[in-house]
Amino acid sequence: MDDATALLVTITGRDRPGITSALCTTLDERGARILDMEQVVLRDRLVLGILVSCGEDEEATRRELHATAERLGVDIECQTMAARRPQASTARHAVVLLGQPLPARAIAACATAIAECGANIDRIVRLSRYPIMSFELLVSGGDPDQLRAALAQTAAEQHIDVAVQRATIYRRAKRLIVMDVDSTLIQGEVIEHLAEHAGVREAVEDITARAMAGELDFEASLRERVALLEGLPVETVEHVRDRLELTPGARTLVRTLRRLGFVLAVVSGGFTQVTDHLREELGLDFAEANTLEVVDGRLTGRLVGPIVDRQAKGDALERFAAEAGVPVSQTVAVGDGANDLDMLGRAGLGIAFNAKAVVRQAADTAVSVPYLDAILFLLGITREEIEAADAEDPALLDATGARSHE
């Protein structure tokens, strides 16, 4: 076999220890040189591909490989093919598909969109089976902007979530994750819970919905809503705070990212009376929010200090990144409302989490499943890795919450 050709050896069958070792030993004994190799095990079925240069006696190498495969009880196919010349590096992207469910037609539609962009799927890895199904596709070639646009359209048509990121060494490096609080880290809006106790919930909900949709100036709408809380006892704020429910998957997300050495922060248009508590409870590194003014044990209906609005959220992300020594390109922002747009836009990866339409359109990617730990899959972290880390690190688990999907 000359340098222009190679032998592609494909092994399939029931997986067990020793198969790869035996085949590589046979190749070594024949003086063959391994050019490339990949192996996948799906359930207990093995698919192993080895590309080799056989030297002068390809037929003898084939015979020895077939004898080894027969002894191992696996199937083998050997195909002579042209060896590829080294090619200039092309852009590679990690495309993550998430769905609940993730039907075959949706995966087919995404694969078609990728092909139509002139890109190729090099590898597919399952990231999770529950609480959602997710796969990561390693894609090479194609125009990045065209790829993102085509997959965003396909995701909307198929009612699934798709994220496209550059597949670089930095993807799983140390990052800063900045999250919104209301309707992101926690379920619901704190100010609406307070308004319930003040008897003004309907009025506050209307203002909140219009502000989050970008129809109202955030600062003016916030001051208007807070004014309606005048006279509310501070004990009511504590009562609401202590009964807030985290979004499903929030503890899993925080616990896993802390293990990986990520820097975690929250920035909220809500109130420090809540975010300070969350920072302590979850072990977050940074927290920033507005402060309700309290006089003689009651809310005055006013705020203390500068307002944390859309621009302030973006500024906070950059300030947290500088303090943590993390490049802004390595930051991730997660939010759902119009006042999150600046931080989503400035972050290296902006994720719209069950967000308003204006936010979904502006963010790098959108997650519509109700589990906050789906963000881990966007970072290429698998459910098996999460569970293995939980099993190996019970001390940290006890400090941040139960192992169940919280």
CATH number assigned to the domain comprising residue 380: 3.40.50.1000
168/165 Cα distance (integer angstroms): 9
Q: Is residue 202 included in any domain, yes or no?
A: no
Do 138 and 38 lie in a common domain? no
Give pLDDT < 70 ranges for the chain.
1-4, 83-89, 172, 174, 393-406
| Residues 22 and 56 both lie in one domain | yes
pLDDT at res. 388: 85
Residue 85 is predicted with a pLDDT of 58
User: 252 and 154, same structural domain?
Assistant: no
In this structure, are 255 and 322 located in the same domain? Answer: yes
Tokens representing residue 353 in the block: 């989490």
Q: What is the pLDDT of residue 356?
A: 86
Looking at the structure, tell me whether residues 139 and 284 fall in a common domain. no
Within a domain: 17: yes
Domain range for 248 is: 176-189+244-400
Residue with tokens 């920035």, as numbered in its chain: 267
Q: Is residue 134 part of a domain?
A: yes
User: What pLDDT was estimated at residue 405?
Assistant: 53
Look at residue 315 and tell me if it is in a domain.
yes
> What pLDDT was estimated at residue 401?
43
Give catalytic residues, as residue numbers: 180, 182
pLDDT value at residue 321: 97
pLDDT at 333: 97
| pLDDT of 231 | 96
339 within some domain:
yes
Backbone angles phi, psi at 185, to 5 degrees: -75, -35
Is there a domain that residue 227 lies in?
A: no
- Tell me the pLDDT tens digit for each residue of 95-108: 999 999 899 999 99
Residue 207 in domain = no
Secondary structure of the chain as H, E, C letters: CCCCEEEEEEEEEECCCCHHHHHHHHHHHCCCEEEEEEEEEECCEEEEEEEEECCCCHHHHHHHHHHHHHHHCCEEEEEEEECCCCCCCCCEEEEEEEECCCCHHHHHHHHHHHHHCCCEEEEEEEEECCCCEEEEEEEECCCHHHHHHHHHHHHHHHCCEEEEEECCCCCCCCCEEEECCECCCECCCHHHHHHHHHCCHHHHHHHHHHHHCCCCCHHHHHHHHHHCCCCCEHHHHHHHHHCCCECCCHHHHHHHHHHCCCEEEEEEEEEHHHHHHHHHHHCCCEEEEEEEEEECCEEEEEEECCCCCHHHHHHHHHHHHHHHCCCHHHEEEEECCHHHHHHHHHCCEEEEECCCHHHHHHCCEEECCCCCCHHHHHCCCCHHHHHHHHHHCHHHHHHHCCCCCC
* pLDDT for position 323: 96
Whether 228 maps to a domain, the answer reads no
The CATH number linked to 24 is 3.30.70.260
pLDDT score recorded for residue 319: 98
Number of structural domains in the chain: 3
Q: What is the pLDDT of residue 404?
A: 46
pLDDT digit string, tens, across residues 123-133: 999 999 988 99
Instruction: Indicate if 26 and 70 belong to the same structural domain.
Output: yes
